Amino acid sequence: MAQVTNPQEAPDGGLTPAIRLRDLRKTYVEGVPVLEGVDLDVPHGQVTALVGANGSGKSTLVKILSGYHAPDRGSRIWIDGAEIEGQIAPAAARDAGLRFVHQDARLVSGVSVLDNMLVGAYHTGISGRVHWRSERRSVQALLDRWRIEVALDADPSNLPLATVSKLAVLRALRTEGDEKISALILDEPTAALGNDDSHNLLTWVRELAARERVGVLFIGHRLPEILSLADRVAVLRAGRIVAEEAAGELDEARLVHHVVGTEIAQFYPDREERRSVEPVLTVTGLGGAKVHDVDLHVGKGEVVGITGLAGSGFEDIPYLVVDPSARARGEVTIDGHKINLRRTTIARRGELGLVLVPADRKNKALAVDLTLRENLVLPRLRSFLRRGGLSRAAEHTDSIQVLKRFGVRPPDSRLAASSLSGGNQQKVVLAKWMSTRPQVLIIHEPTQGVDVGAKSEIFALLAESASQGLSTVLVSVEYEDLAHLCDRVYVVGEGRIVAELSGAQLTTEAITATALMGTERRKA
């Protein structure tokens, strides 16, 4: 159990940081260190970004600070000048002023904002009744202080994602009595946010850090937002801090080099533009709650993008095409077979060769509590029938081959999907559906929550599959990725396609401008 010593001057005689780590080590399997001598300072009033490839040790470092794992003997941790020895107990972390907002932090849907903000911290009188008037005043004052305009009785499920993320941060920062806040650790808080919401949140967090003199340790993977909003950037590679610089002195190319250890000369794969005359997927008059009269087609072996501003309706298109519960209007044809949008099941669409990888990986694309083998064989169970039953041996052999082919690390089919990093989880999802040999693969946000190294590998997989004839639809807000990977890109404004870009027109700048001006034209 952790012991907290009295606060002291920083070991090097300098200003006491919010968090100081010295020689932090962690080994799960003897001889294979996950963290190896990490030295890191998180100053008060600044945002320190920690970046690294999947498997670099970021999650383990956060779990040590939260008390989930104990550091190895000899590791030293100071919080606001107070040294904490051994495994950090949750109470000791809170007393020292540590607060956490994890990647999967959510407010509870169906419960008011007020109740979400007060969970675990209700004030009651002698009778045991909650002092609702004073609680409402307290929470409202907190929201007003940080200019968050939201009704206390609102359901979080109806709020913008950026607002929900801010509320999660404020909930973590609430104090009781003489409690203090020294450091805030944000673990991938923008993973599920679009670019605009992400920028909104991080600008707000930087203001919070400076105003409250809180040291913020921000774990992230989107390099542009890190470079524009962090004060300092530390790079973790293979369990060691290999670089630590002011964000203003870095650019993306140099940061990528620090993260992966080598230059990525070919981050995007080489592809010849493919304008097939043989349509595999045809969509006509597609409509839904936010989508109107969308017409598009995808040829054999083409990579086609669909994008727009957040909330423009482009995000709904993949689900209208694949999911009958979306109650879509219009016509969809896959390889000559007409689909009844409201009656044809997802399984039948899969049999016809139309599959979807949704953006919500952990809730809709992957069964995180099942093994990798169980996830991979789910869409293909019939192929493993032997004498009336499923052959586990055949499943195991097939799964190992698939994991190796798609570069999943480690390629152990017995592991639970929850044990993998985000990038490796995404490879498993792609492997699961691409192994069914579909005609058309629709992917919503293909690299969401994925580090820069894994992104490059996923891009290479998609390019190779397209060269073998797989028709791919990438639905994403990552304009630069679409400009490099796609043969054509449809841009959506207010639920309608406002442009189709290809050839020399297909640039990051053109997609950005069209998304912005397209919406303005619709309003006009």
How distant, in Å, are the alpha carbons of 109, 226, 251, 364 from that of 241?
39, 17, 18, 35
Q: Determine the pLDDT at residue 454.
A: 80
For 510-520, what is the mean pLDDT? 75
Instruction: Indicate where the chain has its CATH 3.40.50.300 domain(s).
Output: 3-106+179-260, 266-353+440-447+470-524
Q: How confident is the model at residue 74 (pLDDT cuts 50, 70, 90)?
A: very high
The CATH homologous superfamily for domain 266-353+440-447+470-524 is: P-loop containing nucleotide triphosphate hydrolases (3.40.50.300)
What integer pLDDT is reported at residue 360 of this predicted model?
87
**pLDDT confidence of residue 333:** 97
Give the DSSP H or E segment for 357. strand 354-357
Contact yes or no for 257/263 (Cβ under 8 A): yes
Residue 347 has a CB neighbour count (10 Å cut-off) of 9
Strand, coil or helix: 87: coil
Q: How many Å apart are CA 165 and CA 187, to the nearest integer? A: 12
Residues 6+ positions from 159 with CB-CB distance below 8 Å: 113, 150, 167
In this predicted structure, which of 160-164, 251-255, 284-288 has the lowest mean pLDDT? 160-164
Average pLDDT, the chain: 86
Residue 437 neighbours by CB distance under 10 Å: 12
What architecture is domain 3-106+179-260?
3-Layer(aba) Sandwich (3.40)
Over 402-451, what HEC string results? HHHHCCCCCCCCCCEHHHCCHHHHHHHHHHHHHCCCCCEEEEECCCCCCC
pLDDT digits (tens, 9 = 90+) for 424-433: 899 999 999 9
Helix axis angle, 161-173 to 195-212, nearest 10°: 20
| Max CA pair span of the chain | 77
- Is residue 97 within 8 A of residue 182, CB to CB? The reply is yes
Q: Is 344 helix (H, G, I), strand (E, B) or coil?
A: coil
Amino acid identity for residue 399 in this structure = S
Strand partners for 440: 354, 471
Q: What is the pLDDT of residue 262?
A: 61
Rounded to an integer, the average pLDDT of 305-315 is 89
Q: What is the pLDDT of residue 380?
A: 93
The predicted model gives 460-489 an average pLDDT of: 93
- Reported pTM: 0.66
E strand or H helix at 95: helix 90-96
In the structure encoding, which two tokens stand for residue 309, read together? 């501003």
Q: What is the pLDDT of residue 524?
A: 36
- In which region does residue 106 sit, left (phi positive, over 0), alpha (psi from -120 to 50) or beta (all else)? beta
Q: What is the pLDDT of residue 355?
A: 97
More confident position, 472 or 55: 472
Distance CA 208, CA 185 (A): 13
Is the pLDDT score of 1 beyond 70? no
The amino acid at residue 390 is: L
Using alpha carbons, select from 320, 358, 318, 357 the residue that is nearest to residue 342: 320
Compute the average pLDDT of residues 300-305: 96
The whole-number average pLDDT for the span 230-237 is: 94
**What are 27's strand-pairing partners?**
33
Q: What is the pLDDT of residues 321-373, one digit of tens each?
A: 999 999 999 999 999 999 999 999 999 999 999 999 999 888 889 999 999 99
* Position 5 pLDDT exceeds 80: no
Q: How many helices (H) and strands (E) does the chain have?
A: 16, 23
pLDDT score for 192: 64
